[in-house]
Amino acid sequence: MSIPRALQPSQDTWDLTPMYQDFTAWKKDLDDEAQQDYAALAAPYRDSKQLTPKQLRALFDLYYSLERRLRKIYTWAHLFHDQDIANDEGKQALQRVVARYHTFSESFSWMEPKILSHSIAKITSFIESKATAPYKVILERLVRIKPHTLPEEQEALMAMSSRAMDASHKAFSAINDADFRFADVQDSSGTPHSLTHATYGVLLRSPDRQLRQRAFETVHGQYQKYENTFAELLNGTLQHHYFEAKARGYASCLEASLFPKDIPASVYHALIQTVRSNIHVLHRYVHLKKQVLGVEELHPWDLYAPLTPDVSSAYTFDQAVELTIQACHPLGAAYVDRLTQGLTALRWVDRYENLNKRSGAYSSGCYDSPPYILMNFKGLLRDVFTLAHEAGHSMHSDCSRRQPFQTSDYAIFVAEVASTFNEELLSQELLQRGIGSPAAQASILNEKLEDFRGTLFRQTMFAEFELFIHERVEHGEPITPKILSEKYTELNRFYYGDELCMSPMTGIEWARIPHFYYNFYVYQYATGISAACALVDRVCHKGKQAQIDYLSFLQSGSSRFPIDLLSSAGVDMSSGEAVVRAIQRVDALLDQFEAILPSVSS
Ligand SMILES: [Zn+2]
């Protein structure tokens, strides 16, 4: 049973006092802040026809100082809220600051269009001006998208249309998250299990094969019944992406999504090509799975089945900290010392479950706070990996705060690199130390292999499907349930190989993947894990300089474009070289798994 928040020993909770002493101090700062009249502060800049470099500097200084203060107020409120979501004081605090944030965003919504209304020559002169030097990279981003920005009245129309354009994505969420109910499924002994989006993943990992099959068929059967609706919903979103791309003069939907984030389309294509040309490694894993499970035919519902019996080793939080810190040694003494401090004396981590605490785990904070970690640590191996993962995020944030505020946030494209990097270090540490029985080692290997299958291979297959459906729309070709399911089956056949039997329901899975509505997002899971693998490889084997390069990547925030930051750290994401490294790692894990297998089964 979880205990009330007030009874949680303070050493197990995060220390929010570096931000505010208590609720009263926080509230005083919010009340103070609320005196600011954003619209009045913004007016002189909004109303002047053309900005001078000096005015632009003053505008940026104003904007970012207001945002910095609001972020601090917001961050404290959201952490305070999450530690006990039933606490009314926390709810009110969060709602008040969110409302304030909306006012702030609205009061400055004219800022970007205003800067973009200047000619390219003028914006370039801002970039070169000494006055605006601290904001150079922000202006460089703006000048990039300037050719894809429409005249003011047309931009207003685009903004007005966006709510209508979002309708099919919203309808998908409504039917998928709220309206859909799945029938209960029975396991092989006749016991019923409730089937929801949340339990589906758990049931697919069950050792009970009949249960897995029933869960798979019940879920996909439900989607199949509504395949026409789902095809129309997906088509609606594709048409939205196509409209945006065309209206803004991009060559393709892919370019329209990646270009504003400073990611070249070559990164996307290199990922797909590299995974495709090394797909035999996934086939090797599928073959092994079939052998270990001892099945005559391997079906889609067998893909998630664990290859090893569940070995539940228990870890204390202190052991998890010790393992994480030990694993991070390749990053040098300064990194290790700072992380040790953070996880112990400085109390970054809110460790255990309590009544009404937010579930799951995250790393969060702001420029003026420590990089906090929320966890619900229960002592499983997965929890140890979660700590290493979140510690990776938190140290990335901590290092990024060496940047000035405006370039301290890192891009989504690199967001999962540092976290996956630390998870990878931890798995190496656990495997090299040979901790636990062969069965425990095998379960670590199984966990890693599943991670790569789900993150690297499956997300690349998704990325390829996403590209296919967008290209069809660009070429004016129809989107029907038959075409979607045929393509999806064909991709499954290619990725998993001949040893996986295709179920008549394999093809319909496209209908239940929310990420296909995200406009080219999933590839970043695959590139993230690939970059992390390549960087771990460098840091562990290429000496001091590789370590320095990686640490300076962590300190770079968004001071340069994400691809350039990774390239300075030693990884070229447009060549597919990192993806090759990641696949080689899978191959090595398979070797290890095969070697350990006889001692597990005997
Ligand atoms: Zn993460």
CATH code at position 199: 1.10.287.830
How remote is the CA of residue 514 from the centroid of ligand 1, in Å?
19
Low-confidence ranges of the chain (pLDDT < 50): 602
> What local confidence, expressed as pLDDT, does residue 177 receive?
85
- Residues 140, 189, single domain; the answer is no
- Residues 185, 145, single domain; the answer is no
Catalytic residue among 227, 255, 390, 464: 390
- Residues 11, 116, single domain; the answer is yes
Q: What's the 3-state SS for 356-380?
A: CCCCCCEEECCCCCCCEEECCCCCC
How remote is the CA of residue 452 from the centroid of ligand 1, in Å?
15
**Which residues form the domain of 394?**
317-422+524-572
How remote is the CA of residue 13 from the centroid of ligand 1, in Å?
21
Structural domain includes residue 108:
yes
> What local confidence, expressed as pLDDT, does residue 307 receive?
86
Q: Give the H or E element holding residue 349.
A: strand 349-350
The Cα-based distances of 501 to 286, 482, 591 in angstroms read 11, 19, 25
How remote is the CA of residue 415 from the centroid of ligand 1, in Å?
7
What are the tens digits of pLDDT across the range 145-194?
Answer: 999 999 878 888 888 888 889 999 999 999 998 898 999 999 999 999 99
Structural domain includes residue 230:
no
Structural domain includes residue 89:
yes
- Residues 209, 114, single domain; the answer is no
Question: Which two three-digit tokens encode residue 209?
Answer: 């094969």
How remote is the CA of residue 390 from the centroid of ligand 1, in Å?
6
Structural domain includes residue 310:
no
Structural domain includes residue 496:
no
> What local confidence, expressed as pLDDT, does residue 2 receive?
84
How remote is the CA of residue 159 from the centroid of ligand 1, in Å?
31
- Residues 134, 215, single domain; the answer is no
What CATH number has the domain bearing residue 95?
A: 1.20.140.70
- Residues 207, 127, single domain; the answer is no
How remote is the CA of residue 371 from the centroid of ligand 1, in Å?
13
> What local confidence, expressed as pLDDT, does residue 354 receive?
94
- Residues 140, 42, single domain; the answer is yes
Question: Which two three-digit tokens encode residue 518?
Answer: 């995200």
- Residues 30, 132, single domain; the answer is yes
Structural domain includes residue 240:
no
Structural domain includes residue 50:
yes
Per the structure, the count of domains in the chain is 3
- Residues 389, 530, single domain; the answer is yes
Q: Which residues on neighbouring strands pair with residue 298, listed in sequence order? A: 500
List CB-based neighbours of ion ligand 1 within 5 Å: 419
Cα 86 from Cα 65, distance rounded (Å) = 32
Q: Can you give the pTM of this predicted structure?
A: 0.91
- Residues 209, 354, single domain; the answer is no
Show Cβ contacts of residue 234 under 8 Å, excluding neighbours closer than 6 positions.
168, 172, 469, 479, 484, 510, 511, 516, 517
> What local confidence, expressed as pLDDT, does residue 53 receive?
96
Q: Nearest-5° angle of CA 283, CA 285, CA 289?
A: 115
Of 198, 224, 250, which residue constitutes the final position of a domain? 224
- Residues 48, 97, single domain; the answer is yes
How remote is the CA of residue 363 from the centroid of ligand 1, in Å?
8
**Radius of gyration of the CA atoms of the chain, in A:** 25
CB atoms within 10 A of CB 269: 15
The Cα-based distances of 594 to 445, 446, 591, 601 in angstroms read 10, 11, 5, 11
Show Cβ contacts of residue 42 under 8 Å, excluding neighbours closer than 6 positions.
62, 107, 108, 110, 111
> What local confidence, expressed as pLDDT, does residue 278 receive?
98
How remote is the CA of residue 519 from the centroid of ligand 1, in Å?
20
Tell me whether residue 447 is one of the annotated catalytic residues: no
How remote is the CA of residue 209 from the centroid of ligand 1, in Å?
31
- Residues 136, 44, single domain; the answer is yes
Structural domain includes residue 54:
yes
How remote is the CA of residue 385 from the centroid of ligand 1, in Å?
11
